[in-house]
Amino acid sequence: MMKKRIPALMLAAAIAFSAAGCSGGNQPSESSTAPSGEPSTSSATAPDNDLVVAFNTDIQSMDPHNTTDTLSITVSRTMYESLVTFDENQEVVPLLAESYTAEDDNLTYTFKLRQGVKFHDGTDFNADAVIANYERCLADTTLRQNSRVAKWESCTKVDDYTVAIKLKEPNSSFINQFTQFQIVSPKALEEGLDLNKNAAGTGQYTFKEHTEGDHVTVVPFADYWGTKATVDSLTFRAVPEDGSRVAMLQTGEADYIYPMPTVQAAQVDGTDNITVGAVASNIMRYVTLNTNLPELSDKRVRQAMNYAIDKQAYAAVVFSGYCEEVLSCYPSTVSYYSEQTPYTYDLEKAKSLMEEAGYGDGFTLTLWGDNISAEQTGMQFVQQQLAQIGIDVEVLPMEPSTLSDMIYVDEDEAEINMWYVNWSASSFDADGSMRSILHSDMVPPKSANTAYFRNTEFDSLLDQAIKTSDPEQLTDLYAQAQAIVWDEAPWLFLGNDELVYGAKSYVSGITLNPDGSVDVTNAALAQ
């Protein structure tokens, strides 16, 4: 079924309703480059050669082995590189590796490494560097990469510029997930360099400064092995308030902003040398429901909550229509997507399910989320919708770092009820799109299964799928897994929004990817 943006007439009706009533495809989508991958043809010129990119949140970590949020990954990729990466078509291609091969058993992968590459601290990149990063991630169980390398049997040096990785079990998603394994200087690791205050990668840029809650600035690495950066500096600035972010773009204090608030997109486009663009995303908007809570342990309650959410009104109110209804636990841009029957907005059905579960009079919950404008709007919308079936929701927006500290705790310390969150499939594979946030092995602090969803059949399906590379088997196994999640409803399934950005017309070469990450490899400012 083809999904379209809500038309203007429906959009207006949905907004009015909200104000009055409650205050198969599996091909990766294309990225969007603003305004062009080629040098700008606009007559406008930049006032300087310092590029400023403003986001709606701050980074959570600068340690490339401990990043999970999209902004942190974006910043990390300017300074660190992986052996393989995704190209513009979301195909895996070599980066710090010149080539790689996989054995027929899907257990052993051999990587031929690029020679002549230097880390920012002058250390040579070679097989020993890869092994040092593996050993660090294996030893430190607090790192997000630990759960991935723990599945490796070994990482061995074949020669100075060849490494072989052997897996404990076949893993059909290994090579996709390996795109996120970035390499840090072994000298920096040995010396215990604080990676939140320094950087020692091989990337196009090297670290200059980081002011928590405000900005990170990187500058070109003079000895970079690949295409040299053309800007003098690159600053990622945290600007949570939507109006402030737009104002910075209008005045030129920022050269590129993401996201562009959808309510202002049409008004701003074409003014003050600003171009507004949009791209289809693989970002899921959802609310996790802590199934350990008595009120949320019955799937009838969770299903009722899904029926109580008007998805069209959500798209209109929160994203001005730049949003599609989701019909699975991950977007249609990810492999092996299987469309499910919608939770159509139906208050009577929702109330009936609440009665059946013994909660006709409702209950009280808290809803956590980031303290940025769009997130708070979404949280308030959910609050208003659930009030219609007697669920009293207290909205608690927080700083991202504070929220992260409260989420990634031992289960017996968890205070979470609901979490308004978005997630993007950076690895573009079905296993990675479900395992890290729904498998029973992935509850906090290990990963982000904050629904504490535990279903043995679901786990078994993922565990079977990861051991095969047969497309027919994978299609069947992942379809069954998605059907279970949809029926069990550990989340409120809200939407799949389009990515909207704003850029000065003198900016070129910035690519916005479907997962919400921003590629600045070819960024340039017209002089």
pLDDT at residue 34 above 60?
A: no
Instruction: Centre a 10 Å sphere on the Cβ of residue 409 and count the other Cβ atoms it contains.
Output: 13
Q: In the prediction, which pLDDT does 91 show?
A: 84
Beta pairing partners, 477: none
Q: Is 104 helix (H, G, I), strand (E, B) or coil?
A: coil
Each residue's pLDDT tens digit, 424-468:
765 556 777 898 899 999 999 988 999 999 999 999 999 998 888
List, for residues 250-297, the tens digit of each pLDDT value: 999 999 999 999 989 999 999 999 999 998 888 899 999 999 999 999
Query: Which region among 228-242, 354-368, 477-491, 513-527 has the lowest average model confidence (pLDDT)?
Result: 513-527
What is the pLDDT at residue 494?
97
CA distances from 402 to 48, 60, 75, 396, 406 (A): 35, 10, 20, 12, 6
pLDDT digits (tens, 9 = 90+) for 37-85: 444 445 789 999 999 999 998 888 899 999 878 889 999 999 999 999 9
Quote the DSSP letter at residue 386.
H
pLDDT in the model for residue 11:
25
Mean pLDDT, the chain, rounded, equals: 89
For residues 131 and 200, give the distance between their C-alpha atoms in angstroms, rounded to a whole number.
16
Examine the pLDDT at 188 and tell me if it is beyond 90: yes
Query: Where does 219-269 have alpha helices with state H?
Result: 242-251, 265-268
Res 316: pLDDT: 93
Above 60 in pLDDT, residue 1? no
pLDDT of residue 68: 79
The CA radius of gyration of the chain, in Å to the nearest whole number, is: 23
Residue-level pLDDT at 385: 98
Structure tokens at 412: 């017996």
Mean pLDDT confidence for 403-409: 94
Number of residues assigned to the chain: 527
Whether the predicted pLDDT of 400 surpasses 60: yes
Is the separation of the CB atoms in 336 and 412 below 8 Å? no
3-state helix/strand/coil string of 439-480: CHHHCCCCCCCCCCCCCHHHHHHHHHHCCCCCHHHHHHHHHH
pLDDT reading at 98 higher than 90:
yes
How high is the pLDDT of residue 430?
73
Which domains are assigned to the chain? 33-55+204-277+500-525 (3.40.190.10), 70-191 (3.90.76.10), 281-497 (3.10.105.10)
Q: What's the whole-number mean pLDDT along residues 509-515?
A: 90
Q: Nearest 5 degrees, angle CA 495-CA 28-CA 450?
A: 45
Answer yes or no: is pLDDT of 22 > 50: no
Pair of tokens at residue 209 = 């400064």
